[in-house]
Structure 1
Amino acid sequence: MSLVSKTYGKGKVRVMRVHRDGERHEVRDLSVQAMVTGDFGRAFTDADNSTSLCTDTVKNIVNIVARENMTLQNEPFCKAVAEKLLGAYPQVESATVTAHETKWVRLAFGGTPHPHSFVLDSNGRPYAKVVATRDAVSTLSGVSGFSFLKSTQSGWSNFHKDGFTTLAETDDRIAATAMEASWHWNAEPADYEAANAKILSTMIEVFATTYSYSVQDSLYRMGTAALEAVPEIEDVSMACPNKHYIPLNLKAFGLENNNQVFVATDEPHGQIECTVGRG
């Protein structure tokens, strides 16, 4: 029997680069697959791993290239990863690097682009729900999977600590979520679409333009602002899973990471929910 083909590598290497140009940040969120071919056949046929590099090493190469190339667009970034693999390992004959981007679009308020707050491209699914009996009609509107983030101006500190606590405090982190939100109407607005848009834009502006001491802090203030902006709604309910971006430790490679390169993970995630009402 012969080994007809062989390749291996690392898939779904999530890497977020935050390029800080003063107050203005640029974010690039990629999911990378890096595959190599070469002199690795004996690992398949003879249980001989002596020429094989670890898939974890391939992941490290992706992260190192990310830190060394903060502003590269997707195509030259993939090329840089491939060239790094070919240059570092003579047993590698070819490298195939694929990167899918999660596209974040910069928010703007009053016609001015915001320096560090973004929403997901093609974002969210608006919905409506009506419950009607012979005596009453209840109308609810909302949005599902509305994703947004800011690359700074968020923290989590002064929390309860005990023997089970391992998380360190921070006053500068990425805050990101995919929000489920809904609101009950106590009166019919002049234009549902316009009112819904105002509710959402009001909440997002509060999130983007004010410091967040926690997701809980932001959600309460977002809901309060929505109720003030649109008097026809009775309450606002929000459910926000944390989309975690964890700073990578690159010290082993002689590289500092000053909140610039992150790994994305949403499992497990914090789940923060609340309802803000007029009562």
Structure 2
Amino acid sequence: MSALATLLEKRTGQRLAANRSWRIETELKPVMRALGLETLEDLVAAYDADPRGKLGDQIVDALLNQETSFFRDGAVLDMVADAAMAMAVEHAGRRIKVWSAGCANGQEPLSLAMLFAERARQQGLAEPEILATDVSDAAISRARAGRFSQFEIQRGLPVRRMIEWFEADGPTWTARPDLVRRIVFRRHNLVGDVPPVGRFDIVLCRNVLLYLSADQRQQVFDAFARVVRPGGLLVLGAGETVIGQSEAFVPSARYRGLYEPAPGVRLGLREEFA
């Protein structure tokens, strides 16, 4: 089991806590079944025989915690939408840019796209641009397809929005193309890759950092500090904080529970993302 946990950490930076080691066998059973393997030792041997093959990706994708839902912590997303619209008014003529980091199967950026479209329509403003990234190729592919099971679609998604933005397709629901087109989906490793090109008004990275080591969290905070605009916001999960972990951000006085760049933090300037 330790070899598989090490593979996950090496590829993504995410650590599997000792009290969560039971997840290894549980999550990898479908992979072993598909390959006709009986034990985790057989799976490790198969990976060792072809470490550059696709099996490593399958193992990592299975072990990643992609738990999410539409409008998860809805009050936070409403606050993000309020902030984005306020920024659009304050910076008239400049398109507001939002990065959803660690977007899993796409429910967070799709929720944001719905909120932004509704608020922008009501207020006569341009919708913010959304970049959504995840370390998993499989997750990004699913997010781009916008296909969700009945169970997934009912978790947090109001019926009104479900009817407006999704189409029934047998046992699944598919996001309408005009919703998916509002988002740029890309694969990105928060630990191993340089930050996406561009500067962002709002960065969301919820329930990802808690799986990283202290050094890796510091690395990610530093990366965010290079791309968040002055006056911008960083949004973390309910159990995450910058306090005691990074001097690059401080609690926002205007948006409770969110963070903003600390005064004097020098941001790295890069070209806007395409």
TM-score (norm 1): 0.25
- The structure that is strand-richer by fraction is 1
Larger gyration radius, structure 1 or structure 2: 1
TM-score (norm 2): 0.25
